[in-house]
Amino acid sequence: MTDIKTTQSKLTIIGTGMAGMAAAYFASKNNIDTTQIGVNSGIIYASGYIDLMGVHPIEDGKTWENPWQAIESLVSDIPNHPYARLDQPGIERAMDQFLEFMDELERPFIIRKNQNTEVITPVGMVKQTYGVPRSMWAGAVALKENRPCLIVDFWGLKAFSAKQIADMLTPRWPQIRSLRIPFPAVGPSADLYPEQMARSLEIESNRVQLAEALKQSLGDAKTLGLPAVLGIYKPEQIREHLEELLGVDIFEIPTIPPSVPGLRLKEAMETSITARGIRLLPQKRVLTAERQKSGRFVLSVGDRASGEIQHIIESDGVILAGGRFLGMGLHAGRKEIREPLFGLPVFQPKDRALWHQANFFDPRGHLINQAGLEIDDSFRPTDLAGKVVYDNLFAAGSILAHQDWMRQKCGAGLAIATAYGAVEAFKKML
């Protein structure tokens, strides 16, 4: 049996996804003594795009060029949506600070102020997003300007088809075509995986081989689209090197999860926040949570499978940012959805039969996707009557009720903005 270590912390963040990482960054920026706990980060499933607000109303599928107008309309129609807890200047501050963080990490994003950008999805559809990774920006420009473009995939890479993407986009982008080639140093019959490919392209000689294989097929293409595999640690340098070798603009297209852009963000953010003084307990879960008479929380941390407690955290405040079901922030039982750590009330349909629509593709979405924690204007969970449960417990991200981030196209924006709101609210207690 290992010795159990006890740590005193001003703030503890439960979750290592986008909301958890954003909260850790904002906490470090405010010099708040912080501990962060989490298992597999949901960031590795991210496409890399930062969606602020793209679709409202869901049932109409209405897309918005201006995300701020979309949020204004959303909040007017759904006053309990988490975005309603912050005004526009607050959301803008959150986004600006987070984008500054990305610049520091050499993971830059490009935005058009007050405007969404059309980008390409892994299956060749087009969607609206707010923040575009620098490595994907040339694709958005080429799409808008109908530049001659070549989309490339590789033998052995599953679930990414350059031909499908080109075929889907041809009606609006006539000057697009596709190509499939072997990946450098790998036979045509070998299975390929995005992370393996990304790490391979960290080696300069492999980039040179790739450029040589592509040169003869570029033709009149002014822009080259590749799956998002241009390195893990230095994607900008790798893209720029390939552009120099080929003489064309290069952009990445997200692949299906787990994604290399998500992995890049995860590794860079973990490295940075620990350097900033955040105590990160990776691959650990909070097993139990209790509130003392003093108001402080005592959290037992360890391995969920064995139930062995390895660490005790005593904390003045807690931010729940562990997501919904995938992150185990919420648990769906046979009859109800519950929050397992603090026993918090969960907003949900009255009957399990109402969790899902009869049609899986119902344009209204499914009510279970709006289940979650009710909060007040300080991001503190409340009971269903609106009474705050604990004055030093906060929540952020997809665990919050009254939002369907996937269909509304606001996942990363909602995570970042609510994390900022929760940290700002905790800061006022200090």
Query: What pLDDT, on the 0 to 100 scale, is given for residue 97?
Result: 98
Query: What pLDDT, on the 0 to 100 scale, is given for residue 45?
Result: 84
- Out of 235, 255, 275, pick the residue that ends a domain: 255
Per the domain annotation, does 421 fall within a domain?
A: yes
- Give the burial class of 221: count Cβ atoms within 10 A of its Cβ; 0-12 exposed, 13-18 middle, 19 or more buried: buried
Determine contact, residues 34/319, Cβ cutoff 8 Å.
no
The pair of structure tokens assigned to 64 is 């918005």
194 and 336 housed in the same domain? no
Per the domain annotation, does 113 fall within a domain?
A: no
42 and 189 housed in the same domain? no
Question: Total structural domains in the chain?
Answer: 2
279 and 311 housed in the same domain? yes
Per the domain annotation, does 301 fall within a domain?
A: yes
Type of residue numbered 243: E
Query: What pLDDT, on the 0 to 100 scale, is given for residue 422?
Result: 98
240 and 296 housed in the same domain? no
163 and 303 housed in the same domain? no
Query: What pLDDT, on the 0 to 100 scale, is given for residue 187?
Result: 63
Per DSSP, 31 falls in state T
- Out of 238, 255, 272, pick the residue that ends a domain: 255
Range of 155's domain? Answer: 123-255
Query: What pLDDT, on the 0 to 100 scale, is given for residue 260?
Result: 94
Relative orientation angle of helices 18-29 and 260-275, to the nearest 10 degrees: 30
Query: What pLDDT, on the 0 to 100 scale, is given for residue 43?
Result: 86
- Out of 190, 221, 255, pick the residue that ends a domain: 255
- Give the burial class of 176: count Cβ atoms within 10 A of its Cβ; 0-12 exposed, 13-18 middle, 19 or more buried: buried
Q: What is the dihedral of CA 315, 321, 322, 323, to 10 degrees?
A: 160
The pair of structure tokens assigned to 257 is 């999860």
Per the domain annotation, does 340 fall within a domain?
A: yes
277 and 250 housed in the same domain? no
Determine contact, residues 18/31, Cβ cutoff 8 Å.
no
Rg (CA), the chain: 23
Domain containing 234 — which CATH number? 3.40.50.1860
Each of the 430 residues of the chain gets a pLDDT tens digit; together they read 468 899 999 999 999 999 999 999 999 999 999 999 998 778 888 889 999 999 999 999 999 999 999 999 999 999 999 999 999 999 999 999 999 999 999 999 999 989 999 999 999 999 999 999 999 999 999 999 999 999 999 999 999 999 999 999 999 999 999 999 999 877 666 789 999 999 999 999 999 999 999 999 999 999 999 999 999 999 999 999 999 999 999 999 999 888 899 999 999 999 999 999 999 998 899 999 999 999 999 999 998 778 889 999 999 999 999 999 888 899 999 999 999 999 999 999 998 988 999 898 888 889 899 999 999 999 999 998 999 999 999 999 999 999 999 999 999 999 999 999 999 999 999 8
| Whole-angstrom distance, CA of residue 159 vs CA of residue 376 | 42
Query: What pLDDT, on the 0 to 100 scale, is given for residue 202?
Result: 95
Query: What pLDDT, on the 0 to 100 scale, is given for residue 281?
Result: 94
